[in-house]
Structures are given as structure tokens and as C-alpha cells.
Amino acid sequence: MDYIVMDLEWNQNPYGKDHIHSDITFEIIEIGAVKVNEDREIEDRYQQIIKPRIFKKLHYKIKEITQFTPEELNKGKDFRRAIVEFLEWCGDDYIFCTWGSMDLAELQKNMKHYGMERILDFPLFYIDLQKMFSLRYDDGHIKRTLSHAVEYLNIEETIPFHRALSDAYYTARVMKEMDFEKYKDRLSIDTFYSPRIKEEEVFVRFDTYTKYISREFLSKEEMFEEKDVSEMRCNICDKMLKPKLKWFSDGGRMYYCLGECEEHGYVRGKIKIKKVDDEAFFVIKIMKSTDEEGANSIYEKQDAIREKRRERRQKMLDHEIVIDEIWDEENNDDED
Ligand SMILES: [Zn+2]
């Protein structure tokens, strides 16, 4: 299997966000990629400039960062053709590797705009090297820039950053320098497209957690009727957990729970609601092994949410009282 280490450059509306009249916020103007073998050696390169069709003028920041000239962009290839050519170059047996999760999302958004829907694998597993770098050198959550990682690993900076091929090259160098073998099974799953039916749903067991990606629902009731959403199971042995805290909402798009497995200890759960449109949504559910401290943090979270809710209620009550008072005063005025 090959690793396709990919990076995209994109343009955005030169006249600012308020002028967006398209389904696209970022228009891809360059694809760069290197093909890396199992020994993490670079075997081939791909670079293609794409002729802009939506935002024909470069946003000043993009111009400053990428140094593209209008002539260069004008000679670029048609997006659809470039994608067909690029996917052909990728071959039959590969996995995408990117720095962060944005590139694959934007790639598919642009493809959708041009009628190229659901062409990439489903589910789309990929390697997020920014996340792996964070797991290895930070806390697994901090998102570092590519240039930070390059500097940190003392990789020689022979070409300028911020062009698709050079950033793909540097990402591949980071992959080579870090102990990738240890983290390579920590695959990410792209959710630009969600499962449409039960059979397409995704369930993956990782070393310390399980991840479930549901089909679409139209209501919270419908969502919790699905056992794969509501059941609290151990991420290691799959047995039902003894519930400590049943699913509770943060009032927004998150739910949390805490359970205990006889054999494997505390497991905490998290459900994230992802909107598809105004009505439909799907969920990403994670069940993860935790310790005493992690368990306590779930209790604290619930307390904090309750406290917030109380404050909000109190504020509303205060507000109502104030309004009532004003109302009374006004009435008094009228009487006068
Ligand atoms: Zn267990």
C-alpha cells in the first residue's frame, strides 16, 4: 500500500466573507502530493495548478502566502480534469495522509460543487499527521503548524513552505522522522459524507476507544431509540457497562456518559451531533477507557453544566422581574 501525502492550496473570496455567493468557501487552486512507500520513502511526486472559476482574483492574504501570479493560475488545469488525473496517479491501493483534517473536507466539497459526488472510498480512512505529531510530542490535542513540526524535528528547510508540493514534501519528511510505526493504526475517519443507511454505519475499535458513526436522524428521540447510540458498552470487551452517569446533554451538540466495566474499569462516552442540514443530523459516538481522574472530570462536567443552566434560569427570571417592573412603571405612567 502507498501513502499519498497530500496538500492543497486554496483561494477564498477576495471581497470578504460577506460576499459569499457559492457553496464553496475555499476554492482549490493547487494540488500537491508525494507517493510514499511502506518504508516511508518518497517514490513519486504530483503537482497541478488549477484554474480558478469561482474566485478569479486572489485574496490578498493567499497571494502573500502562496506567491501565485495571475498568469500561473490562468494556465492551470480544469478542476474536474485535474481530479481525474490526480486520482489515477494515486493508484488502486493507497491511503491519504494530510496535515490536519481540512484538506480532505475541502477536496470533497470542491468535488461536490463540480458534480463529483461520493467518488472517494467510503468510509474514508486517512492518516492525520498533525494529530499523530500531537499524540507523539504533545497532548494529542494541540494542533501545531507544519513549519513548527519541521523545525522541531530538525528537518532541513530546503524549499519555501506554503505551496502544495513543498508542504506535501515536508509532511512526508515529518512522517519519516517521527516514530510513525507506533501511531500508524490511529487512523482518522473523514465525515464529509455520513452513512445513509444502517448498513453503511461505521464502527471501529481502536486501542483505547471505539468510534461509531451513525446514519442520519431527524430527532433526538429517533437517535436514542437506536441501540448503537444509546447503549453504554465497554470499548475493550463490548460488555454492557454499569451506568454511573447516564447520557446527559451540555445543552448544545454534545452528550456525555460514564460507566464501569467489571473487568476494564471506567469508560466514558461522548456523542457529538453533526448537522447535515436544517433537519437531519448524524452522530459520532466515542467510548473511551478512563481512570478515576477521568471519571471525576465527567461528574465535574455535569455539575458545571447544571450550574450554568441554573445561572441561565436565574438570569432569565431576573430579566422577567425587570421587565415586569418596567411594565408596572409604564402602567403607572399611564394611570397618571
Ligand atoms: Zn470491558
How big is the chain by its Cα radius of gyration, in Å? 25
Q: What is the 68 CA–ligand 1 centroid distance (Å)?
A: 54
| Total Cβ atoms within 10 A of residue 202 | 18
Indicate the length of the chain as a whole number. Answer: 336
Architecture of domain 2-182: 2-Layer Sandwich (3.30)
Q: What is the pLDDT of residue 332?
A: 43
Q: What is the 233 CA–ligand 1 centroid distance (Å)?
A: 8
Beta strands in 37-113 (DSSP E): 42-49, 94-98
Beta strands in 214-280 (DSSP E): 242-249, 254-261, 265-275
Q: What is the 235 CA–ligand 1 centroid distance (Å)?
A: 7
The CA distance from 8 to 328, in Å, is 62
Q: What is the 244 CA–ligand 1 centroid distance (Å)?
A: 15
pLDDT, averaged per 10 consecutive residues of the chain (336 residues), comes to 97 78 87 96 97 91 89 95 98 97 96 95 96 94 96 94 94 95 93 95 96 97 98 98 97 96 98 94 98 97 93 84 56 40
Q: What is the pLDDT of residue 234?
A: 98
Q: What is the 207 CA–ligand 1 centroid distance (Å)?
A: 13
Q: What is the pLDDT of residue 304?
A: 95
Q: What is the 259 CA–ligand 1 centroid distance (Å)?
A: 10
Q: What is the pLDDT of residue 20?
A: 64
Q: What is the 267 CA–ligand 1 centroid distance (Å)?
A: 9
Annotated domain spans of the chain: 2-182, 194-299
Q: What is the pLDDT of residue 202?
A: 97
Q: What is the pLDDT of residue 154?
A: 96
